[in-house]
Amino acid sequence: MKILITGCNGQLGNEIQLLEKEHSEHQWFNTDVGELDITDQLAIEQFIQEKQIDGIVNCAAYTAVDKAESDKELCTTLNTVAPAYLAAAIEKRGGWMIQISTDYVFDGSKHTPYVETDTPCPDSVYGSTKLAGEFGVQKFCRNTMIIRTAWLYSTFGNNFVKTMIRLGNERPELGVIFDQIGTPTYARDLAQVILTAIEKGIRPGVYHFSNEGVISWYDFTKAIHRIAGNSSCHVRPLHTSEYPTPAKRPAYSVLDKTKIKETYDIEIPYWEESLKDCIEKL
């Protein structure tokens, strides 16, 4: 197959590129804005037709959650409009698409893990634009797989794990939110399940994926420092109200992964095992 990866310079895009070497039977087109502007509908259609693309993994997105509150136009263009362009273009070739979405499509008012059939209720510009993006890709490409994920980190780019390691080395004390509950996702694990879906065949629909387990940002930080060998920084638990942000975060966004595990016959690593693997690579 000829497969287009958008947003190849991001955390997930970089992890997919590392795994592509194990799947050399396919031809991979790794693009970021320099190679393909996904906000340009004509450029997308020309690229997909000229390269005879069979499938798309859209890793590109506007992910600055707080900034999105005052930058709604660009956030909408990247998270809602562009994915629809990609979906419409690949549908013309009878191809497939994997769209990456987010736990922020939920407001976090539940107290049990979210399943794919739960009604979305986003509470931020970021969440609303990503949900609209889900609707768009499903509307324009019949063979679309949507994967909602959460708390993404990796050895690439800027993310919570790398920030906490840096701040832990720089400061004697940190305050971290303890009343927002979810599950981290190692981008390498998400990349692996995407490759598995491609190999076993895209089965359209919405899926949830994160690592296994449940944790708060505070507990996650404590684990990061412990595994990274930092014992000098005192981590203090904060209420969300003590750390106001422009965008509202879900208080509880644990995702139920039963559907993707049963559909693709996979086991998902526990969050701490994956965190250790990432920190060892760092």
Tell me which residues are annotated as active site. Answer: 126
CA distance 94 to 99: 16
Candidates 278, 258, 1, 250; CA nearest to 107 is 250
Neighbours of 117 (CB within 10 A): 8
Q: Please, which residues have CB within 8 angstroms of residue 10's CB and are 6 or more apart in sequence?
A: 32, 59, 60, 61, 156, 157
CA distance between the termini of the chain: 33
Burial pattern 185-215, b for ≥16 Cβ within 10 A else e, equals bbbbbbbbbbbebbeeeeeeebbbbbbbbeb
